Amino acid sequence: MDTRIDHSVALAALVGQVSGEPAMGPHLVNEAMIVHWVEAMGDANPVYVDDAGAREVGLEGIIAPPTMLQAWVMVGLRATLERESARASGSAKSGEESANDTMMRLLDEEGFTSVVATNCEQDYDRPLVLGEQVAVQLTIEAISDVKTTGLGTGRFATTRYDFYVIPPSTERSGSAIAAEVASAERIGTMRFRILKFAPAPRSAPKPPRPLPSVTQDNAFFWEGLKDGELRIQRCTSCGTLRHTPLPGCGECQSLDWDWIVSAGAGEIYSHVTVHYPQVPSFDYPLPIGLIELDEGTRIVANLDMNPDDVKIGMRVQASIVAFDDELSLPVFAPVTA
């Protein structure tokens, strides 16, 4: 049975709660940040950068790109990292824990320690113009039951961001911002959905395939494959090809040999599909063929095809596949007419 910690009740109590005091953006809406944004986005619309262009379409001057909504309240990388590490180490004072922080902590405790953003929807009430001060208030809108996803088991959580314009000011406490927000004009909202999840246990990495036994007699064959060549031993006295490699020719008793490079074309002479036992280095069911090469020898090799489609007599062509630094093998696939 599942013995994991379940914070369903505590999490349900967070839904609908406003998360902490509202936060004020560190900068007023300004031209420099807009320019960087549209450069990065590749957006050439003149209404974001050219006062005359904006007026031409009936605006009263430059407006900020609507999708920058959240950018105006972002505190920057360093402040974000400090806040995250305080939460992770538990050093954030309990009195400072927002509903969002609580939610994240409870989800961590449930074992859902990983996070991925899944959706972001924004609604805009009106455009922002230069010189405006943006503030944001977070509300926990939804926390799902435990779901099992492709990434792992966890909960989806949706936080609503309500954006307001408040009078510009340099120094204000959280409570002062809250007072302003209470009577301010809302200019947009964002729903940000995350999946907090326990990553599925990473399956053990597949061990490498077994290596061949390489001797002075057969090294040319295995080294050839590493060089991308399917080599077949040839008697230099009578020309007979032989595989697997041997130091002498059974036809003429010569000990002299070299090799040819096979074109890798042939037909399936016989084949099997291995089901058991299952060795972790391989995927099953595992089709293996005995290929009669056009040059006249046979070779045992993997087949890159559905096992049920393998037929004796089928035309196939080899590719040399590097499985790792130490092992390359010919793999045969059907020749399409």
Partner 1 sequence: MSSHRFAGEVAIVGIGATEFSKASGRSELRLATEAVKAAIADAGITPDQVGGMVTYSSETNPDVDIARALGIGDLTFFSRIHYGGGAACATVQQAALAVDAGVADYVVCYRAFNERSGNRFGAGVQGRAPIANAEMAHLGSYMPVGLLTPASWVAMAAQRYMHVTGTTSADLANIAIADRKHAATNPKAWFYEQPITLEDHQASRWIVEPLRLLDCCQETDGAQAIVVTSLERARDLPNAPAVIRAAAQGSGKGQDMMTSYYRDDLCGLPEMAVVGEQLWGTSGLGPADMDAAILYDHFSPYVLYQLEELGFCGKGEAKDFIKDGRIEHGGALPLNLHGGQLGEAYLHGMNGIAEGVRQVRGTAVNQVEGLDRIVVTAGTGVPTSGLVLSSDA
Binder among 43, 109, 217, 304 for partner 1 (CB under 8 A): 217
Binder among 77, 201, 277, 337 for partner 1 (CB under 8 A): 277
Q: Give the distance from CA 268 to its chain's centroid.
A: 39
Under the binding rule (CB under 8 A), the answer on residue 301 touching partner 1 is yes
Among the listed ranges 38-46, 61-69, 158-166, 268-276, the one in contact with partner 1 (CB under 8 A) is 268-276
Q: How far apart are CA 184 and CA 288, in angstroms?
A: 72
- Which helix (H) or strand (E) segment is 102 a member of? helix 99-109
Q: What does 51-78 look like in DSSP terms, one character per residue? A: HHHHHHTT-SS-B--GGGGGGGG---HH
φ and ψ at residue 73, rounded to 5 degrees? -110, 5
Min dist CB 208 to partner 1, Å, is: 6
Task: Please state, in angstroms and as integers, the Cα–Cα distance from residue 256 to each residue in 241, 249, 296, following that order.
Answer: 12, 8, 19
Under the binding rule (CB under 8 A), the answer on residue 282 touching partner 1 is yes
Under the binding rule (CB under 8 A), the answer on residue 83 touching partner 1 is no
Under the binding rule (CB under 8 A), the answer on residue 144 touching partner 1 is no
Q: Give the DSSP letter of residue 235.
A: E
| Beta carbon nearer to partner 1, 22 or 289 | 289
Among the listed ranges 77-85, 100-108, 164-172, 273-281, the one in contact with partner 1 (CB under 8 A) is 273-281
| Beta carbon nearer to partner 1, 165 or 293 | 293
Min dist CB 26 to partner 1, Å, is: 57
| Residues 193-212, interacting with partner 1 (CB under 8 A) | 207-212
Q: Which residues contact 235 (CB under 8 A, 6 or more apart)?
A: 241, 242, 249, 251, 252, 254, 256, 257
Under the binding rule (CB under 8 A), the answer on residue 36 touching partner 1 is no
| Beta carbon nearer to partner 1, 139 or 317 | 317
φ and ψ at residue 179, rounded to 5 degrees? -65, -40
Which residue in 23, 104, 103, 32 sits closest to 68, CA to CA?
A: 32
Under the binding rule (CB under 8 A), the answer on residue 297 touching partner 1 is yes
Which residue in 257, 261, 259 sits closest to 230, CA to CA?
A: 261
- Which helix (H) or strand (E) segment is 14 a member of? helix 8-14
Min dist CB 337 to partner 1, Å, is: 22
Using a 10 angstrom Cβ sphere, with 0-12 exposed, 13-18 middle and 19 or more buried, the burial of residue 210 is: exposed
Among the listed ranges 51-59, 79-87, 100-108, 297-305, the one in contact with partner 1 (CB under 8 A) is 297-305
φ and ψ at residue 243, rounded to 5 degrees? -150, 135
Under the binding rule (CB under 8 A), the answer on residue 14 touching partner 1 is no
Under the binding rule (CB under 8 A), the answer on residue 271 touching partner 1 is yes
Min dist CB 203 to partner 1, Å, is: 19
Under the binding rule (CB under 8 A), the answer on residue 329 touching partner 1 is yes
> What's the token pair of residue 204?
């053990």
Q: How far apart are CA 47 and CA 58, in angstroms?
A: 10
Under the binding rule (CB under 8 A), the answer on residue 133 touching partner 1 is no
What is the binding site for partner 1 (CB under 8 A)?
A: 207-215, 217-218, 242-245, 269-277, 279, 281-282, 285-286, 288, 290, 297-298, 300-302, 307, 312, 323, 327, 329
